[in-house]
């Protein structure tokens, strides 16, 4: 019989746009004893988690809960629940994940309209607003922070126009929640999806979502109760039912409501992780957390510039938590990444599609967003580039980052 060794993953410095290093207190929370999903202790944890999610999303929405699955499960749950077959859906695309929203909307049976921006830039709000007024969509779905290109889309002016046009606004905030401001109520966002494995420093496996009464009204028109749970006559809603059982937000909200109508078996240990991760975010304070991410971004960017490297994309819309670096001419980008991992235990990311092999992506997210990590990746990248024959002035990158920290009183 084959013998399997004890599991012993290497300890890494993870500086990608996700996943990132998990806070040890979150890992500790995952080791706690499992409770039954209807145990009063566990339902209290569910309720506390909902309270903290409202604070994270900056919303008074009744509904704020996690979908069990990776971030994509939250995106799919919101879209498949709020997009009925035949709906007109507008998707502004400026990177890989806008294309993902397009694909999911098509699978929902929507009539999809897209506007596209060259990768490395974002839309001026008036461009999106003009498209909304022209197309008159039922739903607008847009990415807030596009990690494939390291850009962040302004949203503050779009929500009001969606209200005027009676369109629901769905926002993918997977990469931004917990790292940069996401103002659900102030920006008039109808449904927002977050992710655990990025700025929240929780393992991948849950997707926090929130949605308002406008979105809930549409869910109720598609209302279903699972056949095996019905206790009497059931009348279906006026719109076609959601084409997924697992991702039906109307059924999920019954599970997260005081009714506790069974839907699936909740992921006990992951909910512990989410609760602890949210507790740590709120303990730090959202403003302080956003400032921390901005500080370490500034130090990283200063170090990269001192190394003579060029950042990719429009600097006016740079995503705070991701730096996209153009791979110098004549340098094998994958060889650099391999050396960083093998010799320094540091992981940075490549990119996708038209940017594959052209840029590195360095994340400063959540628990990975620390001074020692920033200094470590700069020093290691400098040494690695020198070993690859790239000309630079040794030592300047770390000094430039230290200058930023000293100026900010670190």
Q: pLDDT tens digits, residue range 167-211?
A: 999 999 999 999 999 999 999 999 999 999 999 999 999 999 999
Q: How confident is the model at residue 234 (pLDDT cuts 50, 70, 90)?
A: confident
CATH fold of 286-407 reads: 3.90.1150
Kindly report the pTM of this predicted structure: 0.96
Q: How confident is the model at residue 249 (pLDDT cuts 50, 70, 90)?
A: very high
> Dihedrals φ, ψ of 311, to 5°?
-80, 145
Q: Could you give the percent of the chain with pLDDT greater than 90?
A: 94
How far is the C-alpha of 292 from the C-alpha of 299, rounded, in Å?
Answer: 11
| Residue 222 assigned as binding residue | no
pLDDT at 219 over 90: yes
pLDDT tens-digit readout, 4-48: 999 999 999 999 999 999 999 999 999 999 999 999 999 999 999
Task: Show me where the domains of the chain are located.
Answer: 22-281, 286-407
Identify the pLDDT of residue 235: 76
pLDDT tens-digit readout, 332-361: 999 999 999 999 999 999 998 999 999 999
Q: DSSP of 248-315, one letter per residue? A: -HHHHHHHHSTT----S---HHHHHHHHHHHHHHHHH-HHHHHHHHHHHHHHHHHHHHHTT--B-S-G
- Token pair, residue 11, equals 């300890």
How far is the C-alpha of 206 from the C-alpha of 223, rounded, in Å?
Answer: 24
Identify the pLDDT of residue 87: 98
In this prediction, residues 220-227 reach a mean pLDDT of: 90
CATH architecture classification, 22-281: 3-Layer(aba) Sandwich (3.40)
pLDDT at 237 over 90: no
Separation in Å, CA 350 to CA 10, 20, 51, 361: 21, 15, 37, 6
């Amino acid at each position: 019989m084959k013998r399997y060794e004890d599991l012993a993953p290497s300890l890494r410095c993870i500086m990608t746009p996700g996943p990132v290093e998990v806070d040890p207190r979150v890992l500790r929370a995952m080791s706690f004893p499992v409770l039954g999903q209807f145990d009063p202790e566990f339902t209290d944890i569910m309720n506390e988690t909902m309270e903290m999610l409202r604070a994270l999303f900056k919303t008074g929405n009744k509904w704020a809960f996690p979908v069990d699955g990776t971030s994509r499960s939250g995106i799919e749950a919101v879209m498949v629940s709020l997009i009925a077959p035949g709906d007109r859906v507008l998707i502004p695309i400026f990177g890989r994940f806008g294309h993902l929203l397009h694909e999911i909307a098509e699978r929902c049976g929507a009539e999809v309209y897209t506007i596209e921006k060259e990768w490395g830039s974002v839309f001026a709000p008036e461009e999106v607003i003009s498209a909304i007024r022209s197309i008159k969509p039922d739903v607008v779905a847009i990415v807030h922070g596009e990690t494939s290109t390291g850009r962040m889309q302004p949203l503050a002016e779009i929500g009001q126009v969606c209200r005027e046009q009676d369109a629901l606004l769905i926002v993918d905030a997977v990469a931004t929640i917990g790292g940069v401001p996401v103002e659900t109520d102030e920006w008039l966002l109808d449904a927002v999806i977050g992710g655990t494995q990025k700025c929240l420093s929780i393992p991948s496996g849950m997707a926090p979502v929130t949605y308002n009464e406008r979105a809930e009204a549409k869910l109720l028109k598609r209302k279903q109760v699972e056949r095996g749970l019905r206790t009497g006559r059931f009348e279906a809603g006026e719109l076609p039912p959601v084409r997924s059982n697992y991702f039906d937000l109307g059924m999920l909200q019954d599970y997260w409501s005081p009714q506790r109508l069974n839907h699936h078996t909740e992921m006990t240990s992951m909910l512990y992780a989410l609760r602890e991760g949210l507790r740590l975010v709120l303990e730090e304070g959202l403003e302080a957390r956003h400032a921390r991410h901005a500080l370490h971004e500034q130090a990283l960017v200063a170090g990269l510039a001192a190394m003579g490297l060029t950042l990719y994309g429009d600097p006016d819309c740079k995503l705070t938590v991701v730096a996209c670096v153009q791979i110098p001419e004549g340098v094998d980008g994958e060889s650099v990444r391999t050396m960083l991992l093998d010799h320094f235990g540091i992981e940075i990311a490549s990119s996708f599609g038209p940017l594959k092999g052209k840029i590195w992506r360095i994340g400063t997210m959540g628990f990975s967003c620390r001074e020692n990590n920033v200094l470590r990746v700069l020093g290691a990248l400098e040494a690695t580039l020198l070993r690859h024959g790239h000309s630079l002035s040794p030592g300047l990158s770390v000094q430039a980052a230290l200058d930023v920290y000293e100026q900010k009183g670190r």
